[in-house]
Amino acid sequence: MKLPPFGKQFKPVPRSGVRVAIGPGAWNFAKKHSQPIMVLPVDDQASNYWWPSDGCVALIHERGSYDDERLDSMAQALLQAGAPSCVAIREALLNGYDPRVFYDAEVLDVAA
């Protein structure tokens, strides 16, 4: 299985964990940061990639969209890759709503 874009440059940090950007604004978001953030291309599925997590928590940045199914599949791929939990920040919900969504292996019933 192949690494996602920016996967070769990405090195999980135990304190800050794994970072992934999804949605139509993912590329621009990832390019603006000094530390590499992996990207799920809009025309691809999370299950097509190997997401290095090394047992670190995952942070998903959903940029420029609001797609529950895509976000759930990204979280599931990260949990299956070994992340103990995921938090999603949904840009589309930042106006007056709590933009955080929490996932763990028990919630999505991910087989270990």
Q: Where are the domains of the chain?
A: 18-108
Residue 109 clears pLDDT 70, i.e. is over it: no
Q: What is the mean pLDDT of residues 71-82?
A: 93
What pTM was computed for the model?
Answer: 0.79
- 88 dihedral zone (left: phi>0; alpha: psi -120 to 50; beta): beta
Task: Identify whether the C-beta of residue 88 lies closer than 8 Å to the C-beta of residue 46.
Answer: no
**11 vs 7: CA distance, rounded Å:** 8
| Bridge partner residues of 82 (DSSP) | none
